[in-house]
Amino acid sequence: TEKSIPKVTDDTIELDEVKILFKDIKIKNQANNEHRHIKVNTFMVNLNLNGMTTDFAVANVSPGIYDRVKFEVHKLEDSEEPPDPEFRDGNLNYSVIVKGKYNSLQFRYRSRKSAHQNLKLETPIEVGENERANLTITVYPHSWFYNNSVLMDPNDPGNENLIDNNIEKSFNFEFFLPK
C-alpha cells in the first residue's frame, strides 16, 4: 500500500499592523464579588508585533485585591463613532484589523466578531490608595492564521470562522502595579 505523504507548503505570513477595539474592561475580586470598571468607552489598542507584550495604563482603580479580568473585544455598534475609520466600511463594523503579507501578497483581515472573556489572574493584585495600575495584553496574532500547524490564507473567506475563533481564544491579560 502507498503511504500518504503530508503536504508540505512554503506558505508564509508577515504581520505589519494589528488593531483591536476593546470595551468594558472590568476587574473583579472573586472573594467578595467586588467589581470595578476600569475602561468603559470603546478604545483601540495597537498590538506590539515584536514579540513584546502590549501594556496600557489604567487609572482610578479603587483600593482592593483583584483576581479576575473581564473584557470585551468589541465590534462597533452603528451608533458608535469609530476611534479609527478602518473599523467601519459602509454598513459593516469590525472589531479587529490585521494588515500584512501572505506569501508576499498584501492582505487586510477584518473581523466582525465580538468576544467576551473572563480570565483568572495567576497572582491576585492589591491596589493601594492613589496607585496607578497597568494592564498587559499577551497575544500572539500570528497564531490566529493557523489551523493546527497549517497556515490559512487570510484572503480566503472559507477561513474566516476558524481565524475569528482563534482570535477569540488568544488573549491573556495581566494586571499589575508599575514599579
pTM, two decimals, is 0.80
- Give the residue carrying C-alpha cell 483581515: 109
**C-alpha span between 87 and 75 (Å, rounded):** 8
CB 40 within 8 A of CB 61: no
Nearest to 115 by CA among 169, 35, 44, 55: 169
- For residue 145, CA distances in Å to 27, 47, 82 come to 30, 16, 25
DSSP 8-state assignment for residue 179: -
**C-alpha span between 147 and 65 (Å, rounded):** 38
Question: What are the pLDDT tens digits along the chain (179 aa)?
Answer: 444 444 456 789 999 999 999 887 777 776 677 777 676 678 888 888 876 667 666 656 677 888 888 888 888 888 888 889 999 998 899 999 999 999 999 999 999 988 887 878 778 888 888 777 777 777 888 889 999 989 999 999 999 999 999 998 887 766 666 66
